[in-house]
Structure formats: C-alpha cells, structure tokens
Amino acid sequence: MNQLPKILNYSIIGLEDYLISFENYCSPCEIQKFCKYGRDEPFTIAINCSDLNRAKEKIKFDQLQKLQKKEDVSVTYEELVKKVKVNVQNIFSQIWKDKVKAHKEEIRCLDTKKVDSMLVSQQGQDWWQDFNITMKVINRECEKIL
C-alpha cells in the first residue's frame, strides 16, 4: 500500500527556529523498537531560518562570482542577479545528510549495517519525501520572516 507523503510534525520554538519531530515514525517501523528514540523521546532536529537564508545567500554569491567571470563586462549586476537560480533541494539534501543520516546509528530504520538494505532504502525514501515536504513549508515560513 502506497502512503501519500505527509508533513512531519514541526513547531516554531523561537523567533526563527523550528523543530521537526519524527515521532510518527517511532511506532509503524517494526525494527524501530531497537532505536534509541521512541514516543517518549522522539528524534527531532532544529532548523534555523537564518541558517537556511545564509545557505541560499552563499549559493547566490558563488553563482554570481562564476557568472561575473563568464559574462561580458557590459552586463550589469542586476542582470547577473536575475540569472542566479538557487536550488533549495540541494540545501535540504545537505541538512538531511548532516542532521538525519548522520544519526543512522540511533535511527535503526536508516542503518543498512543493522537492517536489510531494501527496508532501509524504502524507509529512507519515505522519510526523505516527508522531510522534503516539511522543509518546503518551513522554508516558505522563513521567507515571510526574513
């Protein structure tokens, strides 16, 4: 049975800080019972709007520098800025890698050394899809703040 992706539980915990909780994943996963995290202590990660914004600005800056080297000198700064595209998926992927996958020892469902890689792959895809949707929502909220 295919489940539709869902938004993970998230809450605002400061002026521009969000907390994403994976608590809904603590019961459906059979292998999760060996996990360090559970209903009483769900796995959570903090997302800061300033960090998201800084990551986007860094990508813009890097792209702008490359464009300045390639483009003709007559091209204005404003024209260059219009050509810059920020792919937030890359930022979300990096956050996923640093804040979620880095804890695969504690999150047994994402650890291929302890669990069948097919199960981990499916579980990881589900988690990533839901995380990605949640990050898009948080990103939109952050854009309103900053």
Query: 22 exposed, middle or buried (CB, 10 Å; 0-12, 13-18, 19+)?
Result: buried
Average pLDDT, the chain: 81
Q: Where are the domains of the chain?
A: 9-57+86-145
Question: Quick one: what percent of the chain has pLDDT higher than 90?
Answer: 35
Tens of each residue's pLDDT in the chain, 146 residues: 445 557 688 889 988 999 998 777 655 455 555 556 655 677 789 999 999 999 999 999 999 999 988 888 888 888 888 889 999 999 999 999 998 878 766 665 565 666 677 776 777 788 889 899 999 999 999 999 87
